[in-house]
Chains A and B, each alone.
Chain A
Amino acid sequence: MVDAVTPPDQRLSVLYREHRSWLENWLRHRVGNSWDAADLSQDTFLRVLSSAQKLEELREPRAYLLTVGKRLLSNFYSRRSLEAAYLEALAQLPEECVPSPEQRWLLLETLQALDELLDGLPRLVRRAFLWSQLHGLGYREIAERLDVSERTVKRYMAQAYEHCLLVQL
């Protein structure tokens, strides 16, 4: 008897058929609408497809899909919250400083990429790093603002740089 080997694309389509509506449902309860849920579930399967994980070795396909899906969902929330903060900040700019629509979207994309890059850093580390990078504040001033020592600020900066460099590797 020949042990039939299922080609990978077929395995994915089986995975897709059996779990897509379940995953979409799970996502819909969290994002509150079907469109975003459908997008996110699509993205999840795309990630699974492009991952190194061997589908035939998946013992708990739903647990695996959830792990991937949760990460995407978290990114989704972050993007949405970033966008809201960005639009709010834009709305407060004087009219002559408001960038053109194209610039606005480019800027938002850059901000989203950097937001993802900084994701996972403790709040104060993130803030110290942003003050230094965006406003060019010196360590002494950052230390005063955060009410910590300059040595701590230096440690924060090293931590932030290390984090960003590792994510980018």
Chain B
Amino acid sequence: MRTAPTSEMQEVARAAARWLALLESGTATEADHIRLQHWRNSSANHEHIWQKAQQLRQRFEALPPALAMASLDRPDLARRAAIKRALGIAAVLPTTWLIARQVPVQVWLADVHTAIGEQKTLQLADGSLLQLNTDSAVNVDLSKRELTLVRGEMALRVNDSAGLTIHLPYGRVVVGRSDVCVRLNDRDCQIKVASGAAQLHPLQGPALFLREGEEVRLRPGGAGEVGRFDASLPGWREGVLIAQNQPLGDFLRELRRFRPGLLRWAPELENLRVIGSFRLDDTDRVLSLLAASLPLEVQSRTRYWVTLMPLNAHA
């Protein structure tokens, strides 16, 4: 851990800082320059810290200005300060904030996330309901009436006609009094409207209007074709995974999102068909159910390393 600088070095740092500020202000006179030179020459410590300051300036100079500015002067610095306060690092008032976070009613400004296999429901301060699926992260800023889906999947039911905006990597969705579900995949994002309607503004291409039961994929180049889905079927928000004659590979890739650790299967199992509805709160049980209904067996080295193998007919 760092040791506190001596008061002498603090004085030297302060003096150097004042010299730098004076020089950069453009108001330094010839006499000031001579005095500075004298100051630097008068002690090894002075010159040492002066060199440090020059290195500091060079580190900034080497950066691409716009990118560095956007990162180092980012808008959520105020929120970070709030987090630090809440952690009791810089100041007081931690408890209320932490309680509000642990009993998440009335969220106004937050970074919310879930672990693998975890789901969360939050009531936002405007009455909207936010649900996070497994392994997901959402930033909420109601002062700007916006949410950003950072990772995973979320559902949002907005009750206020003022609406909320969800920011995605390739565009944004404006949600009025309606219910939408948004998911980030590796190469695209998926937007589904469960009830009401939503407006989609891709980064590229024209905006479009989605109605109840419609879904669309959003890619860097714009929105794809609008498709339909059955909004009455239960899904992850109800804690179930439904397969209607789905290839086992697709089903397992979906199930894997909810399970920590490794889940693998032999390639010849890829196209077996799965039918049924499965409860997501116990994925071990889902695997047992698969083994009971399909010609496969579950080999577990540990809970976190599971392989599905075809049943050996000769065994």
B143 in the interface (beta carbon within 8 A) = no
Q: Distance in Å from the Cβ of A31 to the closest Cβ of chain B?
A: 8
B16 touches A77 (CB 8 A): no
A165 touches B116 (CB 8 A): no
A166 in the interface (beta carbon within 8 A) = yes
27 contacts between A and B (CB under 8 A): A29-B102, A33-B135, A34-B260, A50-B1, A52-B1, A70-B88, A73-B87, A74-B83, A78-B80, A82-B74, A86-B71, A90-B67, A107-B67, A110-B63, A111-B68, A114-B68, A115-B72, A126-B73, A133-B57, A134-B63, A134-B69, A138-B26, A139-B24, A139-B25, A155-B21, A159-B17, A164-B56
**With A47-B1, A134-B60, A168-B52: A88-B9 Cβ-Cβ less than 8 Å:** no
0/1 string, A106-137, CB within 8 A of B gives 1: 01001100110010100100110011111100
Q: Distance in Å from the Cβ of A54 to the closest Cβ of chain B?
A: 13
The docked-state distance in angstroms from the alpha carbon of A166 to that of B9 is 8
Residues of B within 8 A of A168 (CB): 52, 56
Residues of A within 8 A of B53 (CB): 161, 165
Q: Which 4 A-B residue pairings sit nearest by Cβ, starting from the closest?
A: A85-B74, A161-B17, A89-B70, A162-B17
Within A70-105, which residues are at the interface with B (CB < 8 Å)?
70-71, 73-74, 77-78, 81-82, 84-86, 88-91, 93, 99
Residues of B within 8 A of A120 (CB): 90
Chain B residues in contact with chain A, CB under 8 A? 1, 3, 5, 9-10, 13-14, 16-18, 20-22, 24-26, 49, 52-53, 56-57, 59-80, 83-84, 87-90, 102, 111-116, 118, 135, 137, 139, 150, 169, 260
Residues of A within 8 A of B25 (CB): 139, 150, 153-154, 157
> Which range holds the interface residue count of chain A?
35 or more
A85 touches B76 (CB 8 A): yes
A123 touches B78 (CB 8 A): yes
**With A52-B1, A110-B59, A134-B68: A157-B24 Cβ-Cβ less than 8 Å:** yes
**Contact of A77 (CB < 8 Å), options: B57, B70, B83:** B83
Chain A residues in contact with chain B, CB under 8 A? 28-29, 31-34, 47, 50-53, 70-71, 73-74, 77-78, 81-82, 84-86, 88-91, 93, 99, 107, 110-111, 114-115, 118, 120, 123, 126-127, 130-135, 138-139, 150, 153-155, 157-162, 164-166, 168-169
**With A107-B63, A165-B53: A85-B87 Cβ-Cβ less than 8 Å:** no
Q: Distance in Å from the Cβ of B122 to the closest Cβ of chain A?
A: 13
**Contact of B61 (CB < 8 Å), options: A32, A71, A133:** A133
- Specify the chain A residue showing the minimal Cβ separation from B10: A166
**With A139-B25, A158-B20: A32-B63 Cβ-Cβ less than 8 Å:** no
